[in-house]
Amino acid sequence: MQAGTKGTELVKFFFALSEPIRLEIIRALLSAKELCVCQIVQAFGLSQPKVSFHMRVLREADLVLWKRRGRWVYYRLNLENPMLRAVLPFIEEGMEVSKIQTTACEVGP
């Protein structure tokens, strides 16, 4: 996804979702209302900079929102994004039903 690309928004959107780790993070965020970086790090056994890198891609594609609370940074899906909403059913597909978020849940440190 080189710089100066036209139609960037759409390209960024698809690009962000075209990576297995990022898709898994999206799925995790679908199950948990929100997650801080350390939870994602632990859940997937990834390095922290790696997770931060991918979260940035997701952020810049407008797929997630973030908020700092104390020392932690929490990420959650940007469900206001209509494109995300359009593809979520396909991302959910194959997920265990039990893992799909139906109600808010307490998470995190």
Among 56, 79, 95, 99, binds DNA (CB under 7 A): 56
Among 26, 36, 61, 63, binds DNA (CB under 7 A): 36
Asked whether position 105 contacts a copy of itself by CB under 8 A, the answer is no
**Do residues 41 and 27 make contact, with C-beta atoms less than 8 angstroms apart?**
no
Residue 24: helix, strand or coil by DSSP? helix
**Do residues 17 and 77 make contact, with C-beta atoms less than 8 angstroms apart?**
no
Asked whether position 99 contacts DNA by CB under 7 A, the answer is no
Least distance (Å) between residue 14 CB and DNA: 11
Q: How far apart are CA 102 and CA 68, in angstroms?
A: 24
Asked whether position 82 contacts DNA by CB under 7 A, the answer is no
- Count Cα neighbours of 78 within 13 Å in the Cβ-side half-sphere: 16
**Residues from 2 through 41 that contact a copy of itself (CB under 8 A):** 5-7, 10-11, 14-15, 17-20, 23
Least distance (Å) between residue 59 CB and DNA: 8
Asked whether position 42 contacts a copy of itself by CB under 8 A, the answer is no
Q: What are the start-end ranges of the E strands in 1-109?
A: 35-36, 64-69, 72-77
Asked whether position 63 contacts DNA by CB under 7 A, the answer is no
